[in-house]
Structure 1
Amino acid sequence: MSEQKNNNPRQTAVDALINWAKTGWGYYTMRDAVDNYLESCGANRPSIGGEETILAHRKIAANRLAIDCIYALSKDEQSKVDRELEGIAGTLPKHGCGIKR
């Protein structure tokens, strides 16, 4: 990619997903970018619905990323991105891993 890293978490995640799908390289960079986007867009915010609501918000945000990747990917690459995003979105973030009193 010739672009410099920008400050837009969504675009950074899309670029990382496209690069990973096309080259197979940068898996952890892609995961970090997607997780950063999910955090920045508020998908991980606790709410009244509990874990189910957080997972639903994460899936909606991940679907937005998948849609943003469509223009650049083949059908097989898009399927690869869809499967990976489903796995990432279906995993709750680890908040508060410290010692609880």
Structure 2
Amino acid sequence: MAKTRISISLELDQAERIRLAAEEGGQDVSAFVVAAALTEAVRRERIAASFADIDAAIAAAEAEAESLDWTSASDAPTEESVRIREQVAAARARAAAIRSRRNAA
């Protein structure tokens, strides 16, 4: 497999700490840095995946909000106020269910 070189700049003390940690683990610096960077990349990917449902819900709500006709609260008919409260309650219930599933996992 072809290799790609990436250059990084470190303070001397950082470079020495990394070199010592790699040596203690029986790795060369490149292997150590690659393993550490990939571990962090996987961690960030998992975090992003865990928030994907929430991010999608926020994006959908923002898209919907752009298309709504926002009347002032005093102008909103009673039925509209009830509908809005019901939608807010439903959104909160969906968010609670997502949090519950996530905490159970």
More relative contact order, 1 or 2 (CA 8 Å, 6+ apart): 1
TM-score calculated relative to the size of structure 1: 0.26
- When Rg is computed on C-alpha atoms for both structures, the one with the higher figure is 2
- TM-score under structure 2 normalisation? 0.26
1 or 2, which has the higher helix percentage? Answer: 2
